[in-house]
Amino acid sequence: MHIDRLERYWIIAVGVVLGAFGAAIVASVVVFGVRLPSPVGRIDPAKIKESEFATPGLTQDGDHTYTLRIVAKMWKFDVGTKEPQPTIKIPAGSRLKILATSLDVTHGFYVEQHDVNVMLLPGQISQVDVTFNKPGVFHIICHEYCGPGHQAMVATIEVNEGN
């Protein structure tokens, strides 16, 4: 079969580009440890009161390490307090393990200026590990439309000067 010279060059060029793309995917997994986000657990929303999410909120695990359990529901991020828009206070340098789930519909979970952006699905537990180094006020925002109270679904993380 005759292949024209220019055509052969293009076939080689396309092969090289596809090979580079494939190598990039393999390198991202093997070298850089990139993983698809996946739920860390399953939960029955009807039995949330019998689970570790029965008492959501902040618990201190060690020096500057905390676990924050959050239950998203229409239309609040529940951290175990009464306010409709709760505030979580931590010192700068705190490392948070955030465990979150939804009681009812799909909610969003986005933290300003930090690498946190997940969806909270009923029946699924999501985990995000994040360190808050910079003092300031950072909002947690629901960025999935979840009903008529969606725009009020905000909580705040207040990072104070560390010691």
Residues that bind ligand CUA (CB under 6 A): 72, 75, 107-108, 142, 144-146, 150, 153
The two tokens of residue 162 are 């560390």
Give the residue from 106, 104, 114 showing the smallest Cα distance to 142. 106
Q: Which amino acid is at 22?
A: G
Q: Which is nearer to ligand CUA, 68 or 72 (CB)?
A: 72
Q: Which is nearer to ligand CUA, 138 or 144 (CB)?
A: 144
Q: How far is the CB of 48 from ligand CUA (least distance, A)?
A: 16
In terms of Cβ atoms closer than 10 Å to its own Cβ (0-12, 13-18, 19+), residue 142 is buried
Q: Which is nearer to ligand CUA, 90 or 122 (CB)?
A: 122
Q: Which is nearer to ligand CUA, 94 or 126 (CB)?
A: 126
Q: Which is nearer to ligand CUA, 120 or 159 (CB)?
A: 120
Q: How far is the CB of 56 from ligand CUA (least distance, A)?
A: 15
Report the distance separating Cα 111 and Cα 92, nearest Å.
Answer: 16
The two tokens of residue 134 are 């910079």
In terms of Cβ atoms closer than 10 Å to its own Cβ (0-12, 13-18, 19+), residue 121 is middle
Q: How far is the CB of 55 from ligand CUA (least distance, A)?
A: 21
Q: How far is the CB of 121 from ligand CUA (least distance, A)?
A: 12
In the chain, what is the greatest distance between 2 CA atoms, to the nearest angstrom? 77
Report the distance separating Cα 48 and Cα 56, nearest Å.
Answer: 10
Q: How far is the CB of 139 from ligand CUA (least distance, A)?
A: 13
